[in-house]
Chain A
């Protein structure tokens, strides 16, 4: 049999099997599931991750009866209109935004420098450095918060706990996450690009400025965004180092006992949507320019 005929025979559906489209919906679904089990489970994981986010979003449009916003009553956009005048919420939000920006800026600078040292240099004490960067990520926040409080008390700073001590603590735990993010980007770089620049008579400084840094920049931006959202969202460490200062998570925690108003959900949802736009915008424009 020539290979062409063999191919033709193989291509023809065996006559005894019913044509595929006659299978029931359930059977086809089952077949798809069997072939895409992993993707299906991954989909379930994403549903699990986004279910609470969806609830937060939906309940920002609720008009709760009484103090607790747990059961759906009726649609209302009041919270979205009122929240911007509500000083009880907006003051903590503005404070959290400020702390988040400062902490992200400082942690990004310190973390990026470390990432370049680890990613690009050989040096003694590498293992200890790796450990020192890993430990804050693996330590329970309660322990870090408590030990910082113990330090501040022993330094006689317990009277002046507030914005400064919160920011110091946030910078500390954000550094590690920036290092990990930026280091991953550096490790993924093709060093031949830098070599080409050097081959074309660029000096080290120019190579760094024109090739290396622009290539690592997306990682630095991602690290800064991660640091900002970790800082903005931090409750446990802040609750130890804040004194009587109220950040947004501390406000939410205080409200949890007596009922979180839908206005807090508005802040959470707005942050989520803004962050999603910031993160997805480059992806979308990239796709646009590719298809155009």
Chain B
């Protein structure tokens, strides 16, 4: 048997259009899309619009809310919670960078070094999802407990002292005081910013790892080989070839980590003290406890606006195909 040509006649890739449009007429894609997109429209887009409307209402739960173009909800939200916003963004930013640093070697190993262990490792990446994330977050209380080995080690090596010295200068205005007492205390990690950041990093790690893996896996290994063949060092090949080609994954992972992390209320609640409360906690309690729906909605809309801006910048650079 002669070796079958991998590419079609004339070096063109095999004609796939025929197979691609199996069972196709003009309306097929819309028929396939409509049930799911209808669900997303009713229960994602409509609520978002309703929330924008609510953010411009005034009133209270007892007197009822009325729509009055109440823009003061936004000025209230910004003046009252600017410090919380900044704090959330700083925490989420540090957590996102940590996620990237931890997830990249993991995704790289799965994509290029795992061989026959690849599927197993992919399962392991999502396996922590199978235990309740509240229980896992709670487990960090045990790991980071004040008398535990981790904090003891950090205390003895002077690491805690070093981390405690990372403080925002007292001369900075109040709304910029995201680490007023240091990123940790001198004798504990729980109920400090580091505990919250660590918890967020932990909880969002798979959302960074999977998009990174997806884009690394798509890289043609021959490109990296070509770089090393041309006398590029391994590090330089990574810097000039692998990393740039993995950028869609880096950005997608960052989008899936940063904003959800900034709005997360659970880690601050379980691992921090009230001083570490993030914007998610404010929205949560304004909705459930204070029942100031307009203010809570205004805060949510501000958070949504941040996401939309980030996604819009990404889409202008890279299009939408790599998003999903």
Contact = CB atoms under 8 A, between A and B. Distances in A.
Mutual binders A and B: yes
Interface in A122-176: 122-123, 126-127, 129-144, 146-151, 153-154, 168-169, 171-172, 175-176
Chain B residues touching A, majority SS = helix
B163 to A, nearest CB: 18
A265 B135 contact: yes
Contact of A172 (B40, B105, B137): B40
B324 A260 contact: no
Interface in A13-43: 38-39, 41-42
A262 B138 CA distance: 12
A136 B14 CA distance: 36
A118 to B, nearest CB: 7
Contacts of A38: 105, 108-109, 113
Contact of A110 (B39, B106, B131, B206): B39
Contacts of B129: 226, 229-230, 233
A61 to B, nearest CB: 14
Contacts of A229: 129-130
Contacts of A70: 141-142, 145
Interface in B134-167: 134-143, 145
A206 to B, nearest CB: 11
How big is the A interface, by class?
35 or more
A236 B300 CA distance: 14
A210 interface: no
Given A130-B321, A132-B40, A39 B136 contact: no
Given A70-B141, A113-B32, A113-B33, 13 more contacts: A48-B205, A52-B143, A131-B311, A132-B44, A142-B264, A143-B304, A146-B300, A147-B297, A154-B54, A176-B40, A194-B22, A249-B132, A272-B127
17 contacts: A38-B105, A46-B124, A49-B202, A56-B135, A113-B32, A114-B37, A140-B259, A142-B283, A143-B303, A146-B284, A175-B36, A184-B214, A192-B19, A233-B132, A236-B265, A268-B136, A283-B119
